[in-house]
Amino acid sequence: MKKISVLLVVLLALSGSVGAQNYSFNGLDMNMGTLSRLSNARTRSISPENYTGERGKGGMADPVKDKDVRNKANSWAAAKDLGKGWKVNPFIIVKPGETITVAEIEGSGAIQQIWMTPTGNWRFSILRMYWDDEKEPSVECPVGDFFASAYNEYAQLSSLAVCVNPGSAFNCYWKMPFRKKAKVCTR
pLDDT tens for each residue of 128-152 = 999 998 999 999 999 999 999 888 7
For the chain, the residue count is: 187
Number of H helices, E strands in the chain: 2, 13
For residues 155 and 164, is the Cβ–Cβ distance under 8 A? yes
Reported as a single tens digit per residue, the pLDDT across 49-81 is 787 888 877 776 666 665 554 445 566 666 667
pLDDT at 16 over 50: no
CATH ID of 2-48+91-186, from 2.40.50.70, 2.60.120.1390, 3.40.640.10, 3.40.50.920:
2.60.120.1390
pLDDT at 169 over 80: yes
